Amino acid sequence: MLFLNGKFIKRSFLAARRAQFLIECLADLKKNLVKRGLNLLIQHGKPEEILPSLVKAYGAHTVYAQKETCSEELNVERLVNKRLQQLLPQLGNGVSRNQSSTQVTRLELIWGSTMYHMDDLPFECSCLPDVYTQFRKVFNSLLNLILLFGAASKCHHFLVRHLPLEIGDVFLQLMNLDFSKKRQASKGMMFVGGESAALSRVHEYFWQKARDFFLVFDLLRRYKDTRNGMLGPDYSTKFSPWLASGSLSPRFIRDEVRRYEKERQSNDSTYWILFELMWRDYFRFLSIKYGNSLFHPGGLRKKVQSWGQDQTMFETWRDGCTGYPLIDANMKELSTTGFMSNRGRQLHKDVIFLQIVCSFLVRDMRIDWRMGAEWFETCLLDYDPCSNYGNWTYGAGNSICNTLH
């Protein structure tokens, strides 16, 4: 089940492009669910208002959802749980359910989206190292302990005959978006949403595609050497939009890396794929430790700084009109494709260069870093609150790591 909130996508060309990717993700998810005897229900509105009515209608005793870590999502979890608890006096009147009328409907939250489970941590999140390198050293020894469980081949069907319309029709009706502008072809990569496209990309990048007409080799073999490129579809994995949408599991990537190491070779590139996935995990765990500080002007350090919010200057940066070709090219790629290279963002520092577009906005223009983070949130197909805001606090000099460096 998916809930669409009016805040989720703004009505603009960017919205239509992001929505197209999401529609493709949902259509592919629905197809895969139907194969297993399930289906997908899309609702427009607040989960805390819609879920209780569905629970009453179908006599559900448990609601399952993925556990989140940031404030807006945590607030939704609290509201849903509160409303489910309030259902108790209303149950049992003409509703058939296989449970006692005194049993409260449970909200079961399941951890997901990371390579490591929270239970893998050898410490509480409150004791998470403030430096990524320390975190990485702790977990290097655990990489071989991660297990990946496959999906069930067949499940008991639920609501299969009671779902409305096709995915795209539902989305268009609910969000009133304009798809009149077709996606433009580009020299980069055209992202197609969904698990099928994600698995195809993993297979292509790890096992199939060669970078050079004369030299036949897979792309993974040279990932560490090419990952900071900016041009073309194959300098990096481009897995991030599928990871962010839940179409691709980081544990599946990890298993494919290990299979590659057994069947072909283990080198710096295979390790570096896992290195980047560990960064992603780290920011999610960091969001648990520091909570809303991630979104505050002073960041994790609670550092008091005077930031400007000149809208004209910001729009110059946003629209790629600064007059600096490298900055402008990256910003135009972002607004056109919903993607920007790691080197363009360079929001975590594993090379000697400072962050490019982030550094320019906060260090040269002295503009509030949160305006940049919010623009990235608007544009990125691979938007994730933990990684986006965690990286921007670092770029603004407000991360705990900045103090230690």
Residue 68: CB atoms within 10 A of its CB come to 20
Q: Is position 290 annotated in a ligand binding site?
A: no
Pairing of strands 62-66, 42-44: unpaired
Q: Is position 283 annotated in a ligand binding site?
A: yes
Q: Is position 394 annotated in a ligand binding site?
A: no
Q: Is position 319 annotated in a ligand binding site?
A: no
Residue type, 153: S
∠ CA 401-376-239, rounded to 5°: 85
Q: Would you say 200 and 252 are in contact if contact means Cβ atoms under 8 Å apart?
A: no
Q: Is position 205 annotated in a ligand binding site?
A: no
Q: Which residues fall within 8 angstroms of residue 53, CB to CB, at 6 or more apart?
A: none
Within 13 Å, how many C-alpha atoms sit on residue 81's CB side?
Answer: 11
Q: Is position 58 annotated in a ligand binding site?
A: no
Q: Is position 238 annotated in a ligand binding site?
A: yes
Phi, psi of 359, rounded to the nearest 5 degrees: -60, -40
Q: Is position 28 annotated in a ligand binding site?
A: no
Residue type, 105: T
Residue 358: CB atoms within 10 A of its CB come to 22
Q: Is position 12 annotated in a ligand binding site?
A: no
Phi, psi of 109, rounded to the nearest 5 degrees: -100, 130
Q: Is position 239 annotated in a ligand binding site?
A: yes
∠ CA 118-402-224, rounded to 5°: 70
Q: Which residues fall within 8 angstroms of residue 288, CB to CB, at 6 or more apart?
A: 69, 125, 128
Q: Is position 276 annotated in a ligand binding site?
A: yes
Q: Distance between CA 370 and CA 397 in Å, rounded?
A: 12
* Residue 218 bridge partners (DSSP): 210
Q: Is position 237 annotated in a ligand binding site?
A: yes
Q: Is position 223 annotated in a ligand binding site?
A: yes
The full length of the chain comes to 405
Binding site listing for FAD? 223, 236-240, 276-283, 382-384
Binding site listing? 223, 236-240, 276-283, 382-384
